[in-house]
């Protein structure tokens, strides 16, 4: 029993960016194939229990549109909300499907936010956040939080690294379609350990992060949301609806239905590029890959394939 207790108390999640076992994804990673198209903001107060403090004011909503590290950031304030739109929609693939970027400059100065997704902007599902940070002493405005104590909360990693999310974690939610996510919502965590003010994780624990932050840049500073897996856009298909790139699962070959050469990149489920190849018009490419799911991408097209045999 003593052994079990010590293991439970020492439970940890993925470590900081650059450390073994970290899930952090760099903004310039080739795994990102798209970014948020639009963003709307509902600002929160600089300090939730002081309405006279005014609202957070750094940045505009457009700062969260497009790639990370290009448009600045937008500060949400205590409990502030950013709603981002994606076209084509994000879809559930193998591994992580999107990542959220914040602008923190240290591995341990973490301003956190909940992440929710929606198919129709009416019904939302929240990723089950967990915080094991102590709640006896309030983390100050410039206090530290260990990323190993945080899970499923945006802001876990320093810039230029994003916190990734896997839609499969919401597969049991009936009010969304994880294969078609048009909206992502970022909600600032109010880091007060006062139960009448602060935010709680999915298991009812208070989330202790820097608070109060009586600044114009109060709260979560949203930089961007990057897409890893998305549905093909209508514009990526020819008018005759025949895909320019096909996959024959019987002999596990990629088939070009295009009149021009296709410059292909194939990524494994960890987002690592395993093949780079130019497929000539109306030809086939036999694949010699380990069993698993892969993403095949050309300039304007992307498909998922599953390899089942070892060749």
Q: What is the pLDDT of residues 242-274, one digit of tens each?
A: 467 777 776 788 888 778 888 888 988 777 889
Burial of 57 (0-12, 13-18, 19+ CB in 10 A): middle
Which one, of 153, 150, 149, 168, lies nearest residue 99 by Cα? Answer: 153
CATH architecture of 12-227: Sandwich (2.60)
The domain 234-307 is placed in CATH, from the list 1.10.3470, 1.10.1740, 2.60.120, 2.60.40, at 2.60.40
Euclidean distance between CA atoms 129 and 42, whole angstroms: 21
Q: How does residue 282 score in pLDDT terms, banded at 50, 70 and 90?
A: confident
The H-assigned helical ranges of the chain are: 2-9
Please tell me what DSSP assigns to residue 230: B
Q: How does residue 174 score in pLDDT terms, banded at 50, 70 and 90?
A: confident
Q: How does residue 10 score in pLDDT terms, banded at 50, 70 and 90?
A: low
pLDDT of residue 252: 81
Q: Is the pLDDT score of 1 beyond 70?
A: no
Q: Report the mean per-residue pLDDT for the chain.
A: 89
78 and 144 in contact (C-beta within 8 Å)? Answer: no
pLDDT of residue 234: 46
Domain parsing of the chain, residue ranges? 12-227, 234-307
Half-sphere exposure of 129 (CA within 13 A, CB side): 28
CA-based Rg of the chain, rounded to a whole angstrom? 21
Beta bridge partner(s), residue 161: 26
Please write the tens of the pLDDT for every residue from 47-74.
999 999 999 999 999 999 999 999 999 9
Q: What is the dihedral of CA 93, 227, 32, 209, to 10 degrees?
A: -110
Q: How far is CA 281 from CA 255, 265, 288, in A?
A: 9, 16, 21
Maximum alpha-carbon separation in the chain: 68
Which one, of 79, 117, 82, lies nearest residue 97 by Cα? Answer: 117
Question: Is residue 296 helix, strand or coil?
Answer: strand
Half-sphere exposure of 274 (CA within 13 A, CB side): 15
Please tell me what DSSP assigns to residue 52: G
């Amino acid at each position: 029993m003593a052994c079990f207790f010590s293991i439970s108390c020492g439970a940890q999640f993925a470590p900081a960016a650059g450390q073994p076992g970290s899930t952090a994804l760099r903004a310039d990673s080739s795994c990102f194939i798209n970014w948020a198209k639009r963003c709307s903001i509902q600002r929160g107060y600089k300090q939730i229990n002081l309405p006279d403090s005014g609202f957070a004011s750094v940045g505009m909503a457009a700062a969260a549109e497009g790639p990370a590290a290009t448009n600045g950031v937008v500060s949400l304030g205590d409990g502030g909300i950013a709603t981002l739109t994606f076209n084509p929609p994000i879809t559930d693939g193998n591994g992580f499907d999107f990542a959220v970027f914040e602008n923190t400059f240290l591995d341990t100065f973490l301003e956190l936010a909940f992440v929710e997704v929606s198919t129709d902007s009416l019904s939302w599902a929240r990723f089950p956040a967990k915080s094991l940070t102590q709640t006896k002493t309030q983390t100050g405005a410039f206090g530290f939080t260990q990323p190993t104590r945080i899970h499923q909360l945006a802001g876990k990693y320093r810039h230029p690294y994003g916190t990734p999310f896997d839609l499969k974690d919401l597969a049991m939610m009936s009010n969304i379609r994880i294969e078609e996510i048009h909206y992502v919502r970022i909600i600032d965590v109010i880091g007060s350990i006062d139960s009448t003010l602060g935010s709680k994780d999915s298991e009812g624990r208070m989330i202790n992060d820097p608070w109060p932050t009586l600044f114009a840049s109060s709260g979560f500073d949203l930089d961007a949301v990057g897409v890893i897996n998305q549905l093909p856009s209508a514009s990526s298909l020819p008018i005759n609806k025949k895909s320019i790139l096909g996959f024959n699962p019987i002999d596990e070959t990629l088939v070009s239905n295009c009149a021009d050469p296709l410059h292909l990149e194939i990524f494994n489920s960890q987002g690592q590029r395993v093949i780079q190849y130019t497929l000539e018009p109306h030809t086939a490419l036999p694949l010699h890959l380990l069993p698993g799911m892969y993403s095949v991408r050309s300039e304007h097209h992307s498909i998922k394939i599953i390899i089942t045999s070892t060749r």
